[in-house]
């Protein structure tokens, strides 16, 4: 197994674990935990393709930075997503006194 | 290669913990561990800047935010979670395993092309230059997004009545 | 690993400049003499260099715990510890023996493993952060290319460990203390990092030794070219100092462990050696954040006046460190504790806007000075910073600081 294949397998398992958390957890905050895992799996792929690329594929004069660049933006957006997500969860909690997603089935607050 | 071999099982174990721990705070702490280990993997692969940013943002901010909101919402005890877990696990695995199988198969089969690890060096000077020249529109868009998020989160999390929020969360 | 952009200068063997690295070099030479492989030599060198720093600051911790009590006693017209040894000099030893021999109690409701983990996780980031500071011209234990980022990355671990301490104790006051500590540290970390960013903008590097080197030289022959003596650096330095008081949980921002309100915050359920570890982590964190402030704004190991370069540079560093630490003690002995709503308002409505303003000021300053408009740089940046500062202060004093607190659970 090449290092690249290992990294990709690792990230696919990580993604699946995140998906599992999103599907099975009832607590809204822990669903967010699953989403963070999935985001990280995607980031891992970017770094993997950046780190284990073939040397001849690029113009040597040009720095290859697409991978890290994507990861930087994705980290920033993940932080924003966590902040907004948690704020929404807190607001829901204030209305219903619960973060259990199964209990949020009424259409009026 | 060696750091990858050591770190990948650790990352997976920590991630399984984050998914499987019944107590919400334990799950959140395992998530923090997972993210920290991924940051170490980035460091080992030569992307130091990304690794340290990942550590500062995820462990220092996102994980802390998550445990803080767990503290505020105080989820109930985990007996119910443990009780309904077998059922939910079956359903969850039914949905998840095909996804994982497809992804892992593609990853393992598609990358048989000989790609030589070339260990590129991530130079922050170059990164900064590219970030503020060719990627400047993206940076501006991100700045607008983050400002909107700051304002939006502050508005959302505010107490609806006029009591003073003495521990303003954010 | 290219994480270690080693600055490989070989100093003269017995110069005083070189004294702090003596143990490291001796071990390296000894191992080399014994014919050890190269990787073993370098690892042993790193370990000994780290051990030197840890040893120096553990000694500093013992000394500071005595000096703090003596200084506070002087401020409050008392005598302070004076029984153990001459002038109380053996008091740290007595304290250490007391801490080590005390019973270690773990509450029945505590999470055993996390309860044990928290004090360790408090000390580790402080020691890691101390490892990247340039203490002298030839003495940077680990010279990282991304030193400043590393410092903030490991520093952010403290919040998580405070949370673990508060939560794992399974009791009320630690939980309250942890919530206070996290909201305070998250709020003050923003202006802390933003005020440090100005220095990064001007010096164009994240490497701490390079930042210090760029502050060498003198204006007009006697004013050191430190970042503190520029308009933006002055404001950023003051903001950094205030934030570091909050990050180190020192009075007047010591709400997380305000002993008259919530016993000892997240440390309530700890005793014996674990409590000592918290104490140690706090003091090491204080050393680390002061050392970073000195590196960024006070010229690190640079001498304060020309012609004083004959003294080894690390003496200047530790002299500055002593002065900064004394400022912390002085403030602790003088100011009363603030209220938590005042604390949060101050962070979000005063500190962050002012910290953000130092960034354009630093940019304008650099560009105008590069083009040779030194006077214009002063003329633009000083009002740019001073006027908003006055406005923010006046508004804060009139409206926000004096706003009456509404009591939810009391009359």
Q: Do B166 and C405 touch (CB under 8 A)?
A: yes
Cα-to-chain-centroid distance, residue C374? 32
Q: Which residues in chain A are contacts of B130 at CB distance < 8 A?
A: 63, 65, 69
Judged on CB neighbours under 10 Å (0-12, 13-18, 19+), B79 is exposed
Task: Please check whether residue B152 touches A, CB under 8 A.
Answer: yes
Convert the pLDDT of each residue in A59-69 to its tens digit: 555 557 778 88
Chains adjacent to A (≥3 CB pairs closer than 8 angstroms):
B
Is the Cβ of B29 closer than 8 Å to some Cβ of chain C? yes
Ranked by mean pLDDT, which of A3-7, A37-41, A89-93, C164-168 comes out on top?
A: A37-41
- Contact status of B122 with chain A (Cβ, < 8 Å): yes
List Cβ<8 Å contacts ≥24 apart for C221-229. Answer: C221/C306, C222/C305, C222/C306, C224/C299, C224/C302, C224/C303, C224/C304, C224/C305, C225/C299, C226/C297, C226/C298, C226/C299, C226/C302, C227/C199, C227/C202, C227/C296, C227/C297, C227/C299, C228/C297, C228/C298, C228/C299
Helical axes C231-247 vs C313-334, angle rounded to 10°? 60
**Closest chain B CA to residue A39:** B35
* Residues of chain C with confidence (pLDDT) below 70: 1-14, 258-259, 400-411
For chain A, say whether B70 makes contact (Cβ under 8 Å). yes
Minimal Cα distance from B122: which residue of C? Answer: C2
Q: Spell C237-248 as b/e; 16+ CB within 10 A means b.
A: bbbbbbbbbbbb
Kindly report, residue by residue over C263-316, the tens digit of the pLDDT.
777 888 888 888 888 888 889 999 999 999 999 998 888 888 777 777 788 888
Q: What pLDDT score does C205 carry?
A: 84
- Best residue in B85, B130, B139, B153 for a mutation probing chain A (most A CBs within 10 Å): B153
Phi then psi for C224, rounded to 5 degrees? -60, 145
Spatial distance between the Cα atoms of B52 and C159, rounded to a whole number of angstroms? 16
Give contacts of B159 with chain A, Cβ < 8 Å: 94
- Report the complex ipTM: 0.83
Q: Do C163 and B68 touch (CB under 8 A)?
A: yes
**Which run of H or E residues covers position C221?**
none
Ordered by where they begin, the domains of chain B are 1-78 (1.20.120.1200), 123-170 (no CATH)
At A21-72, the pLDDT tens digits run: 888 888 888 888 899 999 999 999 888 888 776 555 555 555 577 788 889 8
With contact defined as 3+ CB pairs under 8 Å, the chains touching B are A, C
Q: Are the C-beta atoms of C287 and C321 separated by less than 8 Å?
A: yes
Report the CATH architecture of A3-103. Answer: Orthogonal Bundle (1.10)
Residue A50: other Cβ atoms inside 10 A: 22
In what helix (H) or strand (E) does residue C210 lie, and over which residues does it extend?
helix C208-213
Residue C21, SS3? helix
Cα A98 to Cα A26, A87, C387, distances in angstroms: 11, 14, 47
Average pLDDT, chain A: 80
Q: Where are the domains of chain A?
A: 3-103
Residues C344 and C183 sit within 8 Å (Cβ to Cβ) = yes
Structure tokens at C322: 């002593």
Question: What pLDDT, on the 0 to 100 scale, is given for residue C3?
Answer: 41
Residues in chain A: 109
Q: What is the pLDDT of residue C239?
A: 92
CA gap C157, C160 in Å, rounded: 5
Closest C-alpha to C204, from B131, B124, A23, B35: B124
Q: In chain C, what residues touch B52 (CB-CB under 8 Å)?
A: 146, 149-150, 153
Partner C contacted by B32 (CB < 8 A): yes
Pull the structure tokens for residue B34: 């997972």
Position B113 scores a pLDDT of 55
**Tokens representing C379?**
């003329």
Cβ distance B115 to A7 less than 8 Å, yes or no, reads: no
Higher pLDDT, B143 or A107: B143
User: Which residues in chain C have their CB less than 8 angstroms from residue B48's CB?
Assistant: 2-3, 145-146
Tens digit of each residue's pLDDT, chain B (170 residues)? 677 888 888 998 999 888 888 788 888 899 999 999 999 988 888 788 888 999 988 988 889 889 888 888 876 666 666 777 777 788 888 888 888 788 778 777 765 555 555 556 677 778 888 888 888 898 999 999 988 988 888 787 776 655 444 444 44
Q: Answer yes or no: are the C-beta atoms of A35 and A22 closer than 8 Å.
A: yes
Chain C nearest-CA residue for B48: C3
Q: How far is CA C189 from CA C182, C192, C348, C363, C396, in A?
A: 10, 5, 11, 22, 21
- Look at B167 and C2 and tell me if their CB atoms are within 8 Å: no
Asked if the C-beta of B54 comes within 8 angstroms of chain A's C-beta atoms, the answer is yes
Residues of C numbered 118-177 whose beta carbons fall under 8 angstroms of chain B's beta carbons: which are they? 145-146, 149-150, 152-157, 159-160, 163-164, 167, 175
Chain A contact present for B133, CB below 8 A: no
């Amino acid at each position: 197994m090449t290092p690249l294949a290992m990294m990709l397998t690792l990230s696919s398992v990580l993604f699946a674990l995140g998906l599992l958390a999103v599907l099975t957890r009832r607590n809204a905050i822990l669903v967010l935990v699953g989403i963070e895992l999935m985001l990280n799996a995607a980031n891992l792929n970017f770094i993997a393709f950046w780190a284990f690329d073939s040397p001849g594929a690029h113009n040597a004069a040009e720095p290859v930075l697409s991978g890290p660049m994507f990861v930087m933006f994705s980290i920033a957006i993940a932080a924003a997503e966590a902040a907004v997500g948690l704020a929404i969860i807190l607001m829901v909690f204030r209305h219903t006194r619960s973060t259990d997603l199964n209990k949020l089935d009424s259409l009026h607050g | 290669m060696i750091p990858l071999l050591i770190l990948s099982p650790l990352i997976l174990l920590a991630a399984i913990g984050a998914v499987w721990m019944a107590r919400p705070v334990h799950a959140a702490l395992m998530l923090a561990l997972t993210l920290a280990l991924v940051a170490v993997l980035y460091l080992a692969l030569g992307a130091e800047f990304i690794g340290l940013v990942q550590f500062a943002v995820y462990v220092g901010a996102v994980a802390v935010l998550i445990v803080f909101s767990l503290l505020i919402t105080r989820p109930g005890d985990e007996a119910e979670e443990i009780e309904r877990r077998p059922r939910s696990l079956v359903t969850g695995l039914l949905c998840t395993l095909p996804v994982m199988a497809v992804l892992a198969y593609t990853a393992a089969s598609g990358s048989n092309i000989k790609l030589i690890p070339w260990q590129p060096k991530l130079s922050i000077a170059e990164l900064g230059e590219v970030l503020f020249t060719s990627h400047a529109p993206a940076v501006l868009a991100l700045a607008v997004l983050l400002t909107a998020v700051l304002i939006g989160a502050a508005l959302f999390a505010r107490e609806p009545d006029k009591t003073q929020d003495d521990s303003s969360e954010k | 690993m290219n994480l270690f952009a080693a600055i490989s200068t070989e100093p003269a063997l017995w110069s005083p400049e070189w004294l702090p690295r003596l143990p490291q070099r001796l071990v390296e030479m000894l191992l080399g003499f014994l014919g050890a492989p190269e990787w073993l030599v370098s690892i042993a060198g790193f370990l000994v260099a780290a051990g030197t720093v840890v040893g120096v600051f553990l000694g500093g911790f013992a000394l500071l715990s005595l000096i703090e009590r003596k200084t506070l006693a002087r401020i409050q017209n008392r005598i302070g510890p004076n029984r153990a040894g001459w002038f109380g000099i053996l008091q740290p030893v007595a304290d250490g023996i007391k801490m080590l021999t005390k019973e270690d109690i773990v509450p029945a409701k505590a999470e055993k493993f996390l309860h044990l983990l928290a004090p360790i996780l408090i000390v580790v980031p402080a020691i890691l952060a101390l490892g990247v500071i340039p203490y002298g011209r030839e003495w940077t234990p680990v010279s990282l290319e991304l030193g400043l980022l590393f410092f903030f990355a490991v520093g952010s671990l403290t919040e998580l460990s405070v949370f673990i301490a508060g939560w794992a104790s399974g009791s009320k006051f630690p939980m309250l203390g942890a919530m206070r500590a996290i909201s305070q540290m998250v709020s003050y970390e923003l202006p802390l990092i933003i005020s440090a960013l100005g220095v990064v903008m001007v010096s164009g590097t994240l490497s701490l030794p390079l930042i210090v080197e760029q502050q060498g030289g003198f204006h007009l022959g006697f004013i050191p070219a430190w970042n503190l003596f520029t308009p933006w650096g002055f404001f950023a330095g003051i903001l950094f100092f205030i934030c570091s008081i909050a990050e180190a949980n020192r009075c007047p921002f010591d709400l997380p462990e305000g002993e008259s309100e919530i016993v000892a915050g997240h440390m309530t359920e700890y005793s014996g050696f674990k409590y000592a570890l918290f104490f140690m982590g706090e003091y090491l964190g204080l050393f680390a954040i002061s050392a970073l402030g000195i590196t960024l704004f006070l010229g690190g190991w640079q001498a304060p006046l020309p012609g004083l370069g004959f003294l080894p540079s690390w003496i200047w560093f530790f002299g500055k460190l002593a002065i900064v630490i004394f400022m912390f003690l002085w403030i602790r002995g003088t100011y009363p504790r603030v209220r938590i709503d005042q604390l949060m308002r101050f962070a979000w409505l005063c500190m962050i806007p002012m910290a953000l303003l130092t960034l354009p000021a630093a940019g304008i300053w650099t560009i105008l000075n590069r083009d040779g408009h030194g006077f214009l740089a002063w003329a633009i940046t000083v009002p740019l910073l001073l006027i908003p500062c006055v406005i923010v202060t006046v508004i804060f004093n009139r409206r926000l600081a004096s706003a009456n607190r509404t009591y939810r659970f009391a009359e």
